[in-house]
Structure formats: C-alpha cells, structure tokens
Amino acid sequence: MAKAAEKTTLSTTVYQKLRSDIIQGEFRPGEKLRIEGIASTYGVGSNAVREALSRLSSERLVERHEQRGFSVPTIALDDWRVLVRTRCWLETRALEEAISHRDERWEEGIVLALHRLSRYRSDLPAERAAWEDAHRNFHRALLANCGSPWLLEFCEILADHASRYISISHAFGRMPRNGQSEHEALMKAVLNGTPQEACALLVAHYTKTLQTIEELFTEERFAALATGPGSTRTAEFTE
C-alpha cells in the first residue's frame, strides 16, 4: 500500500512538473518529448514520465503519435484564434452566471484578488511568476460563483492552453499595455455595471492579445516556430 501511494505521489509530481514546463514554454512547440531524456532531467523513472505524458495527452497539452511517442503540440495563429473565441464564449457565460448568483463573499474575493495582482508587475522578470499566479487567480475569482464545476473546469483547460501561447511569446518581446487598468475596469463593471458591460470588457481584454499577435504575425516575427515547411500557421502571444 505504501509503495502504491509513493508511486502515485511520484507520478503526480512528474505530471505537475512536466505540465508546468510545457505551459511555461520550456519545451519548444513541436519538440519530441523523449521519455528517457525527461526521466534523466527530472531524476525519476521512465514509467512516471510515461504516465505523466499519457495524462497530459488527454488534456491536449501533449500530442501522442502512434508508434512514434509524444511531442509538444505545435502552435498556430488559426488555432489561437479558435482558442480565444472559445474562451470568450465559455467565460462570458460563466461570468453571467456568477453575476446572477452574486453574494458578498464572491465580491470580496474579486476585490482581494485584484489587490494581490496590483502588488506585482508583469514586465519585471523577478516578479513575472508571482504576477502570473495572481493574474490567473483574479480571473478565477471573476467566475468562481458561476455554480457549475464543469464550466469552471473547461475554462481552466482553455486558460492553460492560452498560458502556453502567452509564455512562448515572451521570448519575442511585448508591446506596452496597461493591464492593471483593464483589470480595474473589469472589476468595476462586474461589481457595479451590467452583465453585458462586464462581458464586453472581458472579451475586449482577451481580444487585445489576439490583435497584438496578428500584428506581430504580419512582421513575420514567428517564422522560427513554423508548424511545417512553407507553413504560415505559427504563433506567439502576449498577456
């Protein structure tokens, strides 16, 4: 029993580490994920890595190739557009539900999450990780009261995939953006405005990133990460 628990703990640890490294862009899009190499780097057995890769493939954070192992999913502008559009659909629905079920605890949670986010700056490398956690928690707080664990889970999955694109984009620099003012405006609309106003600001918040990436694409900044010979479907993103 103890050995089984230890194996489960190790597999979960490897899964969480590998998942984080993929989302944070430690592995290049399209890179082959070699089990023995990862096992050596992480200092674990190959079985734990294989189990982690299988779990991640079910979340679409890893691609499984029949008879050819695993790789990091490629990135593409078309895929990013679909991701943003789907995220807007789901999160605006969740936000509407959260607003309709509003209570003091939920409202206080949003205010506290924004306060914690304001402590960090996304443009300072030393604070980036803390900012990312606080930023993710702020968006979680907005939706927390929607009443549907299923909807929240789907939103989390999409947020993970968005984070992977965003993390990769950091290597290419970023255009100036006042994210804090966007978050403050969003909070005010959620707490004091109409659901329509709040949802419109949430969509605008996500759409700004998409527009920035489209502009960078026209500059051919992402040619080094093309999905294949002659392909124009590559991508990197900002906040």
Task: Report yes or no: 99 and 105 within 8 Å, Cβ to Cβ.
Answer: no
Which regions in the chain score pLDDT beneath 70? 1-8, 171-177, 216-218, 220-239
Q: What's the pLDDT at 217?
A: 66
What is the distance between the alpha carbons of residues 106 and 119, in angstroms, rounded to a whole number?
A: 21
The whole-number pLDDT of residue 175 equals 54
Q: What is the pLDDT of residue 214?
A: 73
The pLDDT tens digits of the residues spanning 43-53 come to: 999 999 999 99
Adjacent-strand bridge partners of 69 = 65
CA distance 28 to 79: 17
The residue among 25, 239, 231 whose CA lies nearest residue 123 is 239
Structure confidence at residue 225 (pLDDT) = 61
Question: What is the structure's pLDDT at 59?
Answer: 92
Q: What is the pTM of this model?
A: 0.84
Write out 101-148 in H/E/C secondary structure: CCCHHHHHHHHHHHHHHCCCCCCCHHHHHHHHHHHHHHHHHHHCCCCC
| Residue 99: predicted pLDDT | 97
**pLDDT the model gives residue 129:** 87
Half-sphere exposure of 205 (CA within 13 A, CB side): 24
Q: What is the pLDDT of residues 98-123, one digit of tens each?
A: 999 999 999 999 999 999 999 998 87
